[in-house]
Amino acid sequence: MRLLILLIGLLTVGLVAGKSAPGRMAVRYDNFKVYQVTIETDLQMEELRKIQEHITVHFLNELAGPGRTYNLIVGPLFQRSLENTLNFLEIAYQVIVEDLQKLLDEASVGDDSHMEWETYHTLDTIYDWVDQQCAAHDYLECKVIGKSHEGRDIKSVRLSKRSGNKAILLEGNIHAMEWISSATVTFLLNQLINSEDPELQRLSEEYDWIVVPMVNPDGFVYTHEVERLWRKNRRPNGHMNTTGACYGIDMNRNFDYHWGGAGWNIDEPCDHWFGGEEPNTEVEILSLQDFVSSFDDGYIRSYMAFHAYGQYVLLPYGHTNTEFPPNYEQMKRIAAAFSDAAAEVYGSTFTYGASGLLNYVVSGAAKDWAYGVKHIPFTCTVELRDKGTFGFFLPSNQITEVGIEVTAGLKALVNKAQEEGIFD
Ligand SMILES: [Zn+2]
C-alpha cells in the first residue's frame, strides 16, 4: 500500500515536472546580472572575446567590432572576477539588470488558456489559435509548410479575399528567444482578420497576406521548457565543446545569398550566431524557401521578418556596407513611412537603412535572400522594441503596445509601397 502511494506520488511529481510552466524552467538566472560593456579599441575587443576562457559568460550580442556596446550575462560566481577583469582592461561597463530571473519572470507566459496579446504564449496555444482562425474563415488557407528537425509543424496562413491581389509575407520567430516576434505577427494577423478598422479591412481586401508565425518551433519550445535564452534551432551541429555536443544553427545566417562573407563567425560552432558550415542546411529554412518559391514570381511583393530588439527597419544588404540595392532609396522611403507612423503612436522611434550599415556586415539573412534571390522588391528585418532596457525579455505588458505601433507602421508602409509602385 505504502509502495503504491509512493508510486502515485512519484508519478504526480513526474507529470508536474514534465509540464512546462513559467518559472519552472530547467535553467534559471537568479541573481545573474546583465553587464553592458563599451568597447572602444581592437585590443579591448580581442580581450572581450577571450574573457570566456576563464569566466562563464553568455553574450547577448554578436561580437562585431569596437565602437559598440555589448550586453553579457554573468552569474553570481563570476561577477567579481568579471568586474576585476573589466577594470584591469579599462573597459567601461554598467550593470543594466541586477537580477535577470526577475526580468524573465515579468516576460514569461501568464494565462495560457487562450490566445490574447497581454501575455506570451506557448506554441500549442499559438497554433490552436491559428487553427481556429482557419476553421472560422474561408478566405484563410492554412498549410503546414514543413516539419522542424524535431518533427514539429511549421504552419502558414494565407489570407486572400480577392483574386489578382499581390502579397505581403510576414515571418515570425526564426530566432527562438525573440518571443515578441510571433506575438506581433499574430497580433497583425488578428487585426487583419478581426479588426473593424476600415483601413485594416481595406488592406485585407486589397492585398493578400501570408504569415509564417513560427519558423523555429523547436527552438521556441526549448525557450519555454529549458533555456529561455536560446536563439538557434535544435539540430546537433556536429561540433563539441567542453560542455558536450553543440546544438543548432542561427537560421537567419543560413540563407544562401552572398553567404559566408565578411563578419562571418564560422569558427565558433557553439556560438549563438553560428550560421552553419554551408548555406541552406536547415530543414526549417528550406521549408520556408520552398514555400516562398511555390508562389508565382512577382506575387509576393514585400517580405518582412520580425525580430528583437533595437527598433530598426533593416533593409538589404547585410553582406556589404559599400554596395546598395538598386532601389535602395525607394526602400528607404517606404521604411521611413513605417517609422514615422509607428512613432506617432507611443513615440517609439525606428531607425531605418541597410543592415550592413546600421547593424554590422553579416550575411545569410532571410531579407537578403528574399530580395537578392527571389527578387521581392521590398524586404526588411523589423527589429521590434526596445532599445536595450529589457532587450530580448520585453515584459508582457508591452506586447499590445508593440502590436498597435507596428500596425500603424505597417498601414503606412503598405500605402507608401503602393504609391511607390511596389505592387504594380
Ligand atoms: Zn533575431
* pLDDT for residue 116 is more than 60: yes
- Distance from the alpha carbon of residue 178 to the mean position of ligand 1, in angstroms: 6
pLDDT, mean over the chain: 92
* pLDDT for residue 8 is more than 50: no
CA–CA dist 191, 210 (Å, integer): 14
CA–CA dist 300, 167 (Å, integer): 4
pLDDT level of residue 266 (50, 70, 90 thresholds): low
- Distance from the alpha carbon of residue 392 to the mean position of ligand 1, in angstroms: 9
CA–CA dist 242, 54 (Å, integer): 13
Contact yes or no for 391/310 (Cβ under 8 A): no
For residue range 100-111, what is the model confidence (pLDDT) as tens digits? 999 999 999 999
For residue range 300-338, what is the model confidence (pLDDT) as tens digits? 999 999 999 999 999 999 999 999 999 999 999 999 999
What does pTM read for this prediction? 0.92
- Distance from the alpha carbon of residue 24 to the mean position of ligand 1, in angstroms: 25
Give the residue numbers annotated as catalytic, written as ranges.
383
Instruction: Say what the pLDDT of residue 241 is.
Output: 86
Report the Cα 144 to chain-centroid distance in Å: 20
Instruction: Say what the pLDDT of residue 265 is.
Output: 61
Among 358, 398, 418, 363, residue whose Cα is nearest residue 382:
358
Give me the phi and psi of 103, to 5 degrees please: -65, -45
CA–CA dist 115, 128 (Å, integer): 8
Instruction: Say what the pLDDT of residue 4 is.
Output: 44
* pLDDT for residue 12 is more than 80: no
- Distance from the alpha carbon of residue 395 to the mean position of ligand 1, in angstroms: 17
For residue range 195-235, what is the model confidence (pLDDT) as tens digits? 999 999 999 999 999 999 999 999 999 999 999 999 999 99
- Distance from the alpha carbon of residue 382 to the mean position of ligand 1, in angstroms: 9
Whole-number percent of the chain with pLDDT over 90: 86
Least confident of 61-70, 111-120, 400-409: 61-70
Contact yes or no for 219/392 (Cβ under 8 A): no
For residue range 348-394, what is the model confidence (pLDDT) as tens digits? 999 999 999 998 888 999 999 999 999 999 999 999 999 988 999 99
- Distance from the alpha carbon of residue 161 to the mean position of ligand 1, in angstroms: 31
CA–CA dist 367, 203 (Å, integer): 22
